[in-house]
Structure 1
Amino acid sequence: MRRILIVDDDQKTRTLLKTYLEKNQYAVDLAHDGATFLAEFNRSADELSLVILDVMLPDTDGFALCRTVRQRSNVPIIMLTASSDETDRVVGLELGADDYVSKPYSPRELVARIKAIHRRTGMDNTAAPRYFHFVGFTLDTVARTVTDPAGAPVPLTGLDFQLLKYFVEHAGTILDRSALCEGTRGRGAGPMDRFLDVQISRLRLRLNDGGGNPLLIKTVRGVGYVFSADVTTSHA
């Protein structure tokens, strides 16, 4: 059973989410503040399939917790925010969150986002290949890591990893912004699609694919992007 750790300082919200998620066949652990969350995370990190972080907490904030989690684990992260400010959402994604949900939200919406992340990370498809190989790089969909041709880890945020994974899964296919946003964040292009271009530029740099003529992620002017490298897959 997939296990989720939630931190939220509102007791009613925690109880509601636990009840709803358990009805959808998830095991749920709860925390009411940052200290409790970190203690539980340190105890059960290897068992978790996802964590949910409320941005506003009494002793810290979700951004600090996101940074700490991402330093220790590649577990998917959803952030809950009451702010409508796009900057807060960008900060969370930059720190390594995989998605965000704006308050107020319905438990049904949250479950849909959780399922979408599990699908994108391969947790709901055991037949999918684990490894993707391209020009010496290896992407591991289970460990959620990327290594370069020398075998060194490539530092990526959660959203960077998801974007690269989507590219290699669709290598050779021209992808517009809407498809990329839908494939990496579970929603079509919107106000956040401006951030997509910045994220792609950063991903190119992480892969040493920067400069005026990138070889891996090519821009198709007026259309979108295409991952042009040859990609092979393996299960072990």
Structure 2
Amino acid sequence: MTADQPHVAILDDEPEIRRMLSDALQEAGFRTTCYGRATEFEAALRRTAPDVCLVDLGLPDRDGLALVHRLALESGAAIIIISGRAQVQDRVTGLELGADDYIIKPFDPAEVVARIRARLRKGRSGAANTANSASFAGWKAHFERYMLVDDSGRETSFSHAEGEVLRLFLESPNRLITRAQMQESLGGAAGDSFDRAMDVRISRLRTKLGEDPKNPRLIKTIYGAGYIFLGDVRWS
């Protein structure tokens, strides 16, 4: 294993699942680290920065959804939930809290490998440029550290999932972006779960940008069509 291989952190309290996932991912060319408890997983994240976090919701020492939400706010990793909770509302909640994907147990390890590859591939191809920051309407977005900075220097963090949406808008300013285009660019299954997840992420971005929810000036909803980001954008 070499340092340039994508690193996947696996958090699950079942040793058999950790072993199965780790073996499949290593065979596919990934580096892996495994954790059985949230406390040791969070301690490790202070020292390392994985590319992907696989997180089980049924943890013995922490609420899994709360952990996913914190990871979405503080980590630059893609977050994939692996859970036995199969209800639609559980999947919607996980995506709304910032997860990038949701896999239901029992699963085929090959499917997990394919989902991770798809997520990393979209992460590489989704950006139209390699710039790490963009200035617009009195704000500067720093994508390498997931931070918005206003003219006064005040900083507001955004999640990995919110950053994907923001970058999509900033790379196509003053152009209609349809729901279908968002789904194609950002991944995930089309349908109500995806639409609700996008609505939540856009709502949070508007709040962080100080937008009036009834009359936003930057991210405009075109009902029945999609969204338009209004403003001049300068990448650096």
2:112 paired residue number: 110
What's the secondary structure of 1:175's corresponding residue?
Answer: strand
- In the TM superposition, residue 56 of structure 1 has moved relative to its aligned partner by 0.9
Partners of 1:48 and 1:123 in 2: how far apart?
19
Shift in CA distance, 177/151, structure 1 to aligned 2, threshold 3 Å: same
Q: Is the contact between residue 181 and residue 187 of structure 1 (CA under 8 Å) also seen in structure 2? A: yes
What is the TM-score with the length of structure 1 in the denominator?
0.83
Q: 1:53 to 1:147 in 2, by over 3 A?
A: same
Contiguous gaps of at least 5 residues in structure 2? none
Deviations 1:146-168 (A, max 9, x none): 22233322243332222112221
Query: Which whole-Å deviations, capped at 9, do the CAs of 1:118-152 have from their partners, x for residues lacking one?
Result: 34444998972222221222222322322223332
1:86 maps to which residue? 88
Q: Is the 8 A contact 1:121 1:141 kept in 2?
A: no
Q: 1:11 to 1:64 in 2, by over 3 A?
A: same
Distance 1:118 1:104, change over 3 A: same
- Give the conservation status (yes or no) of the 8 Å contact 1:177–1:224: yes
- Number of the residue aligned with 1:217: 219
Q: Per-residue deviation at 1:182?
A: 3.5
* One-letter identity of the residue aligned with 2:38: G
Q: Which residue does 1:17 correspond to in 2?
A: 21
Gap regions ≥5 residues in structure 1 = none
Residues 144 and 161 of structure 1 are in contact (CA less than 8 Å); yes or no, is this contact kept in structure 2? yes
Q: Which amino acid aligns with 2:15?
A: Q
Structure 1 pair 3/168, CA: closer, same or farther in 2 (3 Å)? same
**Aligned with residue 140 of structure 2, among 114, 134, 138:** 138
Q: Which amino acid aligns with 1:140?
A: H
How many aligned residue pairs are there?
Answer: 231
SS of 2:177's equivalent in the other structure is coil
**2:158 is the alignment partner of 1:156:** yes
The change in CA–CA distance for 1:24 and 1:151 in structure 2 (over 3 A counts) is farther
Any conservation in 2 of the 1:130–1:141 contact (CA below 8 Å)? Answer: yes
2: CA distance between counterparts of 1:53 and 1:36?
13
Identity of aligned residues (%): 33
**1:138, 1:146 within 8 Å by CA — same for their partners in 2?**
yes
Show the counterpart of 1:170.
172
What is the one-letter code of the residue matched to 2:116?
I
Q: Which residue of 2 aligns with 1:196?
A: 198
Question: 2: CA distance between counterparts of 1:55 and 1:130?
Answer: 32
Q: Which residue of 2 aligns with 1:38?
A: 42
In the aligned structure 2, how far is the partner of 1:125 from the partner of 1:225?
A: 18
Counterpart Cα distance in 1 of 2:180 and 2:128: 27
Shift in alpha-carbon separation, 1:123–1:69, aligned structure 2, 3 A:
farther
1:2 equivalent to 2:3? Answer no
Tell me the secondary structure at the aligned position of residue 163 of structure 2.
Answer: helix
Say which SS state the counterpart of residue 154 (structure 2) adopts: coil
Whole-angstrom distance in 2 between the partners of 1:68 and 1:225: 27
For 1:55, the aligned partner's letter is L
Structure 1's 49 and 138: CA in aligned 2 closer, same or farther, altered over 3 A? same
